[in-house]
């Protein structure tokens, strides 16, 4: 049976006399309860109704040679997998083998009945929250509308088409590939809009910029091409007589009296959809949790000719209601409040309401004038925030496979790594409500790109109209989330235009510039500002921020380190050398590739693919041109690559070494950016954000991610826990023959009486050769150099050479307890180090923690210092307390946080240990 949601405004008059607990009283109570229950199935005119049409549909291809059961929400690929028509789309070369699915036209159908009283409503609308992508919708063989934008909610009036029983709905989708190609051919008579196709290494399909669809579904340099079709979000029927509340736009701001904070105010815009353009009067109520804030009588809803209306008002929260500020992760708590707006229409007492969850906080993007350029950082509740985090891509090429639990897992991993910000990248999707809800709960700030990436786009009327509706709807849906702090118009399109990434740009540069401004500045920007003036709009990322605006929205160099944000990649130089990196104001993308673990790859490959030095399968998954060569060259700079006859063992070792190189490179780069936050050198610096590329994977493949598809942490993510720690010790060679050490603090209070320990170890012994103690105080939210010492002098005192020693650094407080993570610096490439021994590592014992359920304490012993000790619990979901670390003690304990029930015997049996010396 289809589910029917009923929202009624029930009125029952209280009896004047008091009943005792008599049989009569019980009978009347039961009768009233049953009446309400029955009326909920046979609604009165006082109700708003929703008939959910999600569930089981039927999908068929163009000639009906394939007919399968389909899920809504869902998509055709997962439907074909579920019914056995396809295997795992991610297995081996199936991204090419299954390309035929995207070339077909698929039709989704189902039958449904509608209750009589539902049909008695003045308006009955079909509401499709997400259609992917180009479709024609029919009910009872009558066309009710079309779709051409994956990111738009479609609403169609279907009252006159419906009948009580045996209704049939169908959505006929057109191949996105052929649609995009047709739009390209239509445009081609005027001029080409690049890029025409993705690079051959991506093994993708062409013309994605002509269709408002997940851009990376046509392929990317880290993802496959699976341009799906289907009803990817919920669909159903709405029935009402007068009006419904479609959206609430909510902003919070502090109220001050005589320069003293008093309370908070809430600005609310209520967006209605009505049955016609006639005005209606009613009562408006606003609640914050269970507290009634206001109740307005005789409120008039005045629709426009299309039946849209809005009411805007401000509310001051009474001072007797306790309000607590919402903070980013690491700066405070994340209290959230339910805000409910209800409207009861006077003539028939029909009630409509909507609830959103809000947080009370202020956010500012600060771009102050400096001697050379502008600052660029975020301030939340008046406090400057160093943005620590990463970039989010779609968690699966098939959005219907992404569960709330998986989002929770990935975002919790973000918080666990001391991050406070994610950038939702512009080539994917506007994420689900669950994603932003969880970000709100965890204090993860969201830099929200609009869905345009690495392309120029059409600017014909049809395209711009669709984009305008998309942007309006998405901002209204998302803006109440306190986690979202900025809107950005696109990913890298200003830079692509200025740098002429495609040869065609040079032939019609003026035309493309005009088109760029028409799309982002004349169309999108006014909508963003109108719908949400509480956040900054950036036209692109990277951009020069305010300086880009002053330059007419196309800067001469969008990557100028004196302004805004930059994207920085450098694969030709040594990623372990901090000197190769810039000193920007804010870095919103940077990174290095690595391979996934063998545990992740083995699930989508077979033994024939696990070959070394060349794996055809691994090369097929490498969508970044020369990516494999870059990884190998980076490894060779510092470590020994496996011999050519190493076979499967060499294959696995290469995966491990690639993760070391990625982790060390991004560690080096991130620590440098954090060290640059407090000073300016030659006009550059005051860096206040580091978001590496990328957090998660869309499938099992070489990529820049720190978390593999499925949720397993790479070595990089374990390193991120440390290099994003609120108190960080960061050593470096300063280029003048010295070892210097910076200490970086995110804390809002000074850290006093700290001691920096500089410890020198020879590779062949656990016994330290030297320990230098430096006592200091750390001011709040600063980076400062604590220690500078001649490297030659230290080596002389320790009686070792660069190749023989490793330096370890850590902090202790006045009580001698360690504060923050330790850190180390290698003075020579590890393949040139002398004294490193092949260790014998023993698992002494594995016990279940007596404190935390699902936690295992793993006791280990080793007979030698181990760089990059790597632990794995084969096929057990979870992560370790530390991993990929430098082990400088003979005995140590590591914890494993399991996500599933296992016993200690199984945990010990599945433990695997890899060390650098294994190669």
Name the burial class of residue 347, with classes exposed (0-12), middle (13-18) and buried (19+) by CB atoms within 10 angstroms of its CB.
Answer: exposed
User: Using one digit for the tens of pLDDT, what is the confidence trace for 788-808?
Assistant: 999 999 999 999 999 999 999
**pLDDT exceeds cutoff 70 at 475:** yes
Name the burial class of residue 606, with classes exposed (0-12), middle (13-18) and buried (19+) by CB atoms within 10 angstroms of its CB.
Answer: exposed
Percent of the chain whose predicted confidence (pLDDT) is above 70: 95
Computed over every residue of the chain, the mean pLDDT equals: 94
The pLDDT assigned to 32 comes to: 39
Please choose, from the candidates 50, 48, 122, the residue with its C-alpha nearest in 3D space to the C-alpha of residue 276. 122
Collect all residues with Cβ–Cβ distance below 8 Å to 13 and sequence separation of at least 6.
none
The pLDDT assigned to 778 comes to: 98
User: Using one digit for the tens of pLDDT, what is the confidence trace for 71-121?
Assistant: 999 999 999 999 999 999 999 999 999 999 999 999 999 999 999 888 999
- 3-state SS assignment for residue 899: coil
Tell me the DSSP string of 660-707.
HHHHHHHHHHHHHHHHTTS-EETTEE---EEEES-S--SSSSSBS-SB
Planar angle of CA 474, 480, 482, nearest 5 degrees: 120
User: Using one digit for the tens of pLDDT, what is the confidence trace for 629-675?
Assistant: 999 999 999 999 999 989 999 999 999 999 999 999 999 999 999 99
Collect all residues with Cβ–Cβ distance below 8 Å to 202 and sequence separation of at least 6.
219, 220, 221, 225, 623
The pLDDT assigned to 6 comes to: 63
How many Å apart are CA 786 and CA 778, to the nearest integer?
9
How many Å apart are CA 620 and CA 700, to the nearest integer?
12
- Which tokens go with 491? 């990913």
User: Using one digit for the tens of pLDDT, what is the confidence trace for 457-470?
Assistant: 999 999 999 999 99
The pLDDT assigned to 556 comes to: 96
How many Å apart are CA 759 and CA 756, to the nearest integer?
10
- Which uninterrupted H or E stretch holds 158? none
- Which uninterrupted H or E stretch holds 118? helix 116-119
The pLDDT assigned to 117 comes to: 85
The pLDDT assigned to 31 comes to: 39
**pLDDT exceeds cutoff 90 at 577:** yes
**Residue 33 — very low, low, confident or very high, per pLDDT cuts 50/70/90?**
very low
CA distances from 668 to 577, 583, 630, 672 (A): 7, 13, 18, 6
Planar angle of CA 671, 672, 678, nearest 5 degrees: 105
How many Å apart are CA 520 and CA 539, to the nearest integer?
7
**pLDDT exceeds cutoff 80 at 21:** no
**Residue 8 — very low, low, confident or very high, per pLDDT cuts 50/70/90?**
low
The arithmetic mean of pLDDT across residues 716-728, rounded, is 98
How many Å apart are CA 792 and CA 229, to the nearest integer?
65
User: Using one digit for the tens of pLDDT, what is the confidence trace for 853-881?
Assistant: 889 999 999 999 999 999 999 999 999 99
Task: Check whether the bond before 613 is cis (ω within 30° of 0).
Answer: yes
CA distances from 379 to 122, 403, 688 (A): 48, 32, 10
**pLDDT exceeds cutoff 90 at 349:** no
How many Cβ atoms from other residues are within 10 Å of residue 684's Cβ? 18
Which pairs from 898-901 meet CB under 8 Å and 24+ separation?
Answer: 898/854, 898/855, 898/856, 898/873, 899/409, 899/854, 900/876, 901/854
Higher-confidence residue of 179 and 35: namely 179
- Which tokens go with 425? 């990248």
Contact 543, 557 (CB under 8 A): no
Starting at the edge strand found earlier in the chain, the sheet holding 47-52 runs: 4-8, 47-52, 235-240, 123-128, 154-157
User: Using one digit for the tens of pLDDT, what is the confidence trace for 205-250?
Assistant: 999 999 999 999 999 999 999 999 999 999 999 999 999 999 999 9
How many Å apart are CA 682 and CA 371, to the nearest integer?
10
- Which tokens go with 225? 């091409």
Evaluated on CA atoms 153, 154, 157, 160, the torsion sign reads negative
Please choose, from the candidates 283, 273, 216, the residue with its C-alpha nearest in 3D space to the C-alpha of residue 239. 273
Q: How far is CA 421 from the centre of its chain?
A: 9
Considering only the C-alpha atoms of the chain, give the largest distance between any 2 of them, rounded to a whole number of Å.
Answer: 98
Higher-confidence residue of 854 and 418: namely 418
Give bridge partners of residue 391 from the DSSP assignment.
423
Overall size of the chain counted in residues: 919
* Active site amino acids: 492, 589
How many Å apart are CA 443 and CA 436, to the nearest integer?
10
**pLDDT exceeds cutoff 70 at 1:** no
**pLDDT exceeds cutoff 90 at 677:** yes
The pLDDT assigned to 38 comes to: 40
**pLDDT exceeds cutoff 90 at 429:** yes
**Residue 262 — very low, low, confident or very high, per pLDDT cuts 50/70/90?**
confident
**pLDDT exceeds cutoff 70 at 39:** no
The pLDDT assigned to 43 comes to: 39
Strands 260-274 and 243-257: antiparallel
How many Cβ atoms from other residues are within 10 Å of residue 778's Cβ? 23
The pLDDT assigned to 851 comes to: 79
The pLDDT assigned to 74 comes to: 98
**Residue 2 — very low, low, confident or very high, per pLDDT cuts 50/70/90?**
low
Percent of the chain whose predicted confidence (pLDDT) is above 90: 92
The arithmetic mean of pLDDT across residues 840-852, rounded, is 91
**Residue 4 — very low, low, confident or very high, per pLDDT cuts 50/70/90?**
low
- Please list, residue by residue across 574-586, b when 16 or more beta carbons sit within 10 angstroms of its beta carbon and e when fewer do: bbbbbebbbbbbb
Q: How far is CA 849 from the centre of its chain?
A: 32
**pLDDT exceeds cutoff 80 at 770:** yes
How many Å apart are CA 470 and CA 897, to the nearest integer?
41
Q: How many CA atoms lie less than 13 Å away from 209 in the CB half-sphere? A: 23
């Amino acid at each position: 049976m289809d589910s029917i949601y009923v929202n009624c405004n029930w009125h029952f008059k209280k009896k004047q006399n008091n009943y005792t607990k008599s049989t009569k009283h019980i009978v009347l109570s039961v009768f009233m309860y049953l009446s309400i229950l029955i009326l909920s199935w046979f609604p009165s005119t006082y109700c708003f109704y929703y008939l959910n049409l999600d569930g089981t549909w039927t999908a068929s291809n163009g000639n009906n040679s394939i007919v399968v059961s389909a899920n809504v929400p869902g998509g055709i690929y997962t439907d074909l997998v579920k019914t056995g028509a396809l295997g795992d789309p991610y297995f081996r070369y199936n991204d090419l083998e299954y390309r035929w699915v995207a070339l077909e036209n698929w039709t989704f159908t189902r039958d449904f009945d509608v209750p009589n009283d539902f049909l008695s409503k003045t308006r009955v609308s079909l509401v499709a929250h997400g259609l992917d992508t180009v479709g024609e919708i029919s009910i009872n063989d009558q066309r009710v509308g079309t779709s051409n934008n994956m990111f738009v909610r479609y609403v169609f009036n279907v009252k006159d088409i419906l009948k009580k029983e045996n209704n049939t709905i169908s959505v006929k989708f057109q191949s996105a590939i052929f649609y995009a190609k047709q739009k390209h051919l239509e445009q081609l008579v005027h001029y080409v809009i690049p890029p025409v196709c993705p690079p051959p290494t991506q093994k993708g399909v062409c013309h994605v910029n002509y269709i408002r669809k997940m851009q990376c579904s046509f392929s990317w340099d880290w993802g496959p091409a699976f341009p799906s079709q289907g009803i990817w979000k919920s669909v159903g029927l709405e029935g009402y007589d007068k009006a419904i509340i479609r959206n609430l736009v909510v902003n919070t701001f502090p109220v001050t009296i005589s320069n003293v904070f008093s309370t908070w105010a809430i600005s609310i815009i209520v967006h209605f959809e009505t049955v016609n353009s006639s005005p209606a009067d009613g009562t408006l109520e606003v609640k914050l949790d269970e507290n009634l804030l206001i109740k307005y009588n005789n409120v008039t809803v005045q629709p426009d000719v299309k039946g849209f209306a809005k009411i805007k008002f401000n509310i001051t929260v009474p001072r007797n209601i306790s309000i607590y500020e919402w903070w980013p992760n690491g700066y405070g708590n994340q209290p959230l409040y339910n805000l409910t707006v209800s409207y009861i229409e006077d003539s028939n007492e029909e009630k409509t309401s909507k609830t959103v969850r809000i947080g009370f906080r202020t956010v500012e993007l600060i771009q102050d004038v400096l001697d050379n350029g502008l600052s660029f950082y975020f301030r939340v509740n008046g406090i400057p925030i160093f943005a620590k985090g990463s970039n989010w891509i779609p968690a699966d090429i098939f959005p219907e496979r992404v569960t709330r639990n998986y989002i929770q897992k990935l975002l919790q991993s973000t918080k666990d790594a001391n991050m406070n910000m994610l950038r939702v990248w512009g080539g994917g999707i506007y994420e689900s409500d669950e994603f932003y809800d969880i970000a709100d709960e965890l204090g993860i700030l969201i830099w929200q790109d609009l869905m345009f990436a690495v392309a120029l786009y059409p600017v014909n009327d049809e395209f711009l109209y669709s984009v305008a509706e998309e942007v309006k709807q998405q901002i209204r849906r998302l803006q109440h989330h306190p986690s979202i702090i900025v809107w950005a118009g696109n990913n890298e399109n200003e830079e692509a235009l200025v740098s002429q990434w495609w040869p065609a740009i040079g032939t019609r540069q003026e035309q493309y510039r005009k088109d760029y401004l028409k799309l982002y500045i004349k169309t999108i920007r006014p909508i963003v500002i109108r719908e949400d003036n509480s956040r900054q709009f950036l036209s692109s990322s990277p951009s020069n921020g305010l300086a880009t605006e002053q330059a007419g929205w196309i800067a001469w160099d969008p990557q100028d380190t004196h302004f805004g944000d930059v994207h920085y990649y450098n694969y030709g130089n040594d990623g372990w050398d901090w000197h190769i990196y810039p000193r920007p104001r804010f870095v919103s993308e940077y990174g290095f590739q690595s391979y996934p673990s063998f545990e992740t790859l083995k699930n989508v490959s077979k033994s024939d693919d696990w070959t070394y030095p060349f794996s055809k399968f691994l090369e097929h998954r490498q969508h970044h041109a020369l990516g494999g060569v870059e990884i190998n060259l980076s490894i060779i700079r510092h470590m020994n690559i496996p011999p050519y006859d190493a076979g499967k063992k060499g294959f696995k070792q290469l995966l491990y070494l690639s993760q070391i190189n990625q982790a060390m490179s991004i560690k080096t780069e991130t620590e440098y950016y954090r060290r640059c936050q407090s000073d300016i050198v030659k006009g550059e610096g005051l860096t206040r954000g580091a978001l590496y590329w990328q957090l998660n994977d869309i499938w099992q493949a070489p990529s820049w991610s720190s978390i593999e598809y499925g949720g397993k942490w790479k070595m990089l993510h374990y390193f991120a826990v440390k290099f994003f720690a609120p108190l960080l010790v960061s050593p470096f060679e300063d280029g003048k023959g010295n070892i210097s050490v910076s200490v970086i603090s995110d804390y809002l209070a000074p850290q006093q009486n700290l001691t920096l320990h500089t410890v020198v170890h020879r590779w062949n012994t656990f016994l330290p050769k030297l320990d230098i103690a430096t006592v200091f105080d750390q001011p709040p939210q600063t980076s400062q150099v604590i220690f500078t010492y001649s490297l030659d002098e230290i080596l002389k005192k320790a009686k070792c050479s660069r190749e023989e020693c490793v330096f370890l650094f850590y902090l202790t407080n006045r009580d001698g307890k360690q504060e923050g993570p330790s850190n180390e610096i290698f003075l020579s490439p590890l393949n040139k180090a002398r004294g490193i021994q092949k260790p014998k590592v023993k698992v002494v014992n594995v016990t279940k923690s007596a404190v935390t359920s699902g936690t295992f304490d793993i006791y280990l012993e080793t007979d030698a210092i181990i760089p990059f000790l790597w632990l794995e619990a084969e096929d057990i979901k979870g992560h370790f307390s530390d991993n990929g670390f430098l082990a400088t003690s003979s005995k140590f304990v590591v914890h494993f946080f399991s996500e599933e029930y296992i016993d200690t015997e199984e945990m010990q049996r599945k433990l695997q240990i890899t060390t650098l010396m294994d190669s």
